[in-house]
Amino acid sequence: MSVNVSSAAEAAEYAVKDLAAKLGIQPGNIIVAESREMTWPDASLGMPKPGMVYAQMLTEGYRVVLEAAGKRYEYHFGEGSVRKRSQ
């Protein structure tokens, strides 16, 4: 999925809207626990998939951690991409 954000605040706003839509809840019910700039060590954006090979280059981006309904969700942004996982 292609996502272009230019600040940690934009990344957080995108992540909140995306998660609210996926969970079917109001954005106000989502807490932004963390939103910051990151330099990922490779193109996996810190979320490599087993068996995949990623370009080994420093990738500038953002890390957003959200909390909703008792769960944590991470969004990693970089190079126009976003990766997501729940914990």
Give per-residue pLDDT as tens, 35-67.
999 999 999 999 999 999 999 999 999 999 999
pLDDT band at 2 (very low <50, low <70, confident <90, very high): confident
The structure's pTM equals 0.92
Q: Which two tokens stand for residue 29?
A: 């019910």
Q: What's the rounded Cα separation, in Å, for the pair 24 and 52?
A: 32
